[in-house]
Structure 1
Amino acid sequence: MTNKTILITGAGSGFGKGAAIGMAQTGHDIIATCEVSPMVTMLREEVQALGLADRIRVERLDLHDPYDIKQAQTWDFDILWNNAGRGEPGPVWEIPVDIVRRNYENNVFLPLELTQGVVQRWIREGVNEGKKVVFTSSMGGLFTPANWGTYVSTKHAIEAFAEAMQQELSGYGIRVQTINPGAYYTGYNETMADNPFRWMDDAKNFTKRADLRKGFDDFFATPEGRMDAQEQIDAMIAIVPADTGKFRNVSPKAIEDMLKAHQIAAWENQI
């Protein structure tokens, strides 16, 4: 594997941060981007303390800022890793539709806008050979548990866009992959689970706050809901810079097996 320059969105915490540091330590050059300026400063200080300032360049990239997107599309890198995301759980039949729209803006439309500009520039300038686009999807991109429908539907959309792009861009030498983590313990899922409670109202909604909270808490109390994130970070460190590999990368293996069984069973699902 040759040295790569990798642009990571959402590198201020969780998987993105851990993998950015790990890939830098294995010899790759990283453009680690954060959504908000204070995270940029904090990550720069951490990078400096780790002795990785020559390998990790930290920049702000707020996907809601069109100027940030335009600037990022001019940077020189080999791999675009669309890792940033947000989640809006809650019952699909009651969640406000404007919240659904915003979740799609965050997780689908803005990463697509960034990606289109990047790959079109690569092709236009003839520097597309060896380039790659990676999307952080989710185990939820491949099945739909109750009360997570909005968030996981954005990941279903990413799966569709990535699969289409893999076919469309193969003739240009640009590879496309997804990474589909299980419920690893990074704080992302746990914080996301708080989001419905800013709009749910027991005086208006049929779904009661206490019932939804108990469902979330019960899941996060299981081993499947609190898996060690380092396992996934180690997988990402290997997958993202690689010249070859699988299109879809699910971790851990037990989740991959569960998803395959679920997809087979879906053909016999009865209403």
Structure 2
Amino acid sequence: MQKNQVAIVTGASRGIGKAIAFKLAEIGTKLSLVGSSEEIHKTREELREAGFHEVITHQVDVSNEEQMQDLVEKTVSQFGTVDVLVNNAGIGFFKLVEDTNVDEWRKVFEVNVQGVFVGSKAVLPYMKEKKFGTIITISSDVGRYTIPNGAAYTATKYAVQGFSGALAQEVREYGIRVGTINPGMVDTYFNNSEQGTDDKKEWLKAENVAEAVIYMASAPKHMVIDEIVLHPLIQQYPIS
């Protein structure tokens, strides 16, 4: 990535999204960060304390089309453009299908799938106009296989894979690249767990996923990296 590019990162309050924000800031990216709670503003303050001042934050619902369109407009008004969108916001829960209620099912699809659709749609007019842009979605390795007790979460990741593949074909003529990053077990707060516990010491770190984002976004203009899969060495990963 070139210095002074502009990136929108959703789910940047903590975990992977926050790590992505810091990695992007380190290479001179101007940041527009999105979170669902006031905690997102803490990320901005931490970045500024670290010497990164080209950052704005928005507390919005990523599944809300009007709110996402508004923050994209604010980003362009502040920084003049948008070069990269990282769809990182996501939630998950793990239950048997028979124990999952419709509200839980709906909510995980709203954030994980509708949020990706709404965010991507909002940046497309700006990227099309300048014939350049990169849309990266943080999906999951379970977008490639299935697990018990995770029907809703797994289904959203399969949906994201399908959406990203179709979008990539629609927009490549405009110089827009679309890709997914599919991590395995990552030491974060996912599913209301604690970060940094002993049982996660050999898992991927949020910074590992952030480095994959930088790699994908930094590909030459004529090159698209469709997908990156990464997981810790200790994880038994099904090849087929």
> Aligning the two structures, in what range does the TM-score lie when normalised by the shorter sequence?
0.7 to 0.9
Deviation at 1:183, TM superposition (A): 0.8
Structure 1, unaligned runs of 5 or more:
193-219, 264-271
Distance 1:228 1:69 in 2: 28
Deviation at 1:236, TM superposition (A): 2.4
Which of residues 115, 137, 153 is equivalent to 1:110?
A: 115
* Counterpart residue number, 1:185: 187
Matches within 5 A, 1:116-265: 116-123=121-128, 126-127=129-130, 129-191=131-193, 221=199, 226-243=203-220, 244-252=223-231, 254=233, 258-259=237-238, 261=239, 263=240
The amino acid that maps onto 1:12 is S
* Counterpart residue number, 2:17: 16
Deviation at 1:35, TM superposition (A): 1.5
Which has more radius of gyration?
1
- Aligned to 1:8, the other structure's residue is in SS state strand
Deviation at 1:120, TM superposition (A): 3.6
Matches within 5 A, 1:21-36: 21-36=22-37
Tell me if the contact between 2:12 and 2:40 (Cα under 8 Å) persists in the aligned partners: no
- Aligned to 2:193, the other structure's residue is in SS state helix
Question: What is the root-mean-square deviation in Å for CA atoms of aligned residues?
Answer: 2.5
Tell me if the contact between 2:179 and 2:225 (Cα under 8 Å) persists in the aligned partners: yes
Paired-residue identity, %: 27
Tell me if the contact between 1:81 and 1:240 (Cα under 8 Å) persists in the aligned partners: no
Tell me if the contact between 1:31 and 1:58 (Cα under 8 Å) persists in the aligned partners: yes
Tell me if the contact between 1:166 and 1:176 (Cα under 8 Å) persists in the aligned partners: yes
Structure 2, unaligned runs of 5 or more:
none
Residues 1:136 and 1:116: Cα distance change in structure 2 (over 3 Å): same
- Aligned to 1:44, the other structure's residue is in SS state helix
Residues 1:27 and 1:121: Cα distance change in structure 2 (over 3 Å): closer
Residues 1:189 and 1:40: Cα distance change in structure 2 (over 3 Å): closer
Residues 1:121 and 1:240: Cα distance change in structure 2 (over 3 Å): closer
Distance 1:20 1:229 in 2: 11
* Counterpart residue number, 2:68: 69
Residues 1:237 and 1:163: Cα distance change in structure 2 (over 3 Å): same
Deviation at 1:188, TM superposition (A): 1.2
The runs of at least 4 consecutive aligned structure 1 residues that moved more than 6 Å come to none
- Aligned to 1:73, the other structure's residue is in SS state helix
Tell me if the contact between 1:35 and 1:61 (Cα under 8 Å) persists in the aligned partners: yes
The amino acid that maps onto 1:99 is E
Distance 1:101 1:43 in 2: 28
- Aligned to 2:99, the other structure's residue is in SS state coil
So what's the TM-score if we normalise by structure 1?
0.75
Distance 1:179 1:241 in 2: 14
Deviation at 1:114, TM superposition (A): 2.4
Distance 1:227 1:186 in 2: 9
Tell me if the contact between 1:9 and 1:61 (Cα under 8 Å) persists in the aligned partners: no
* Counterpart residue number, 2:50: 50
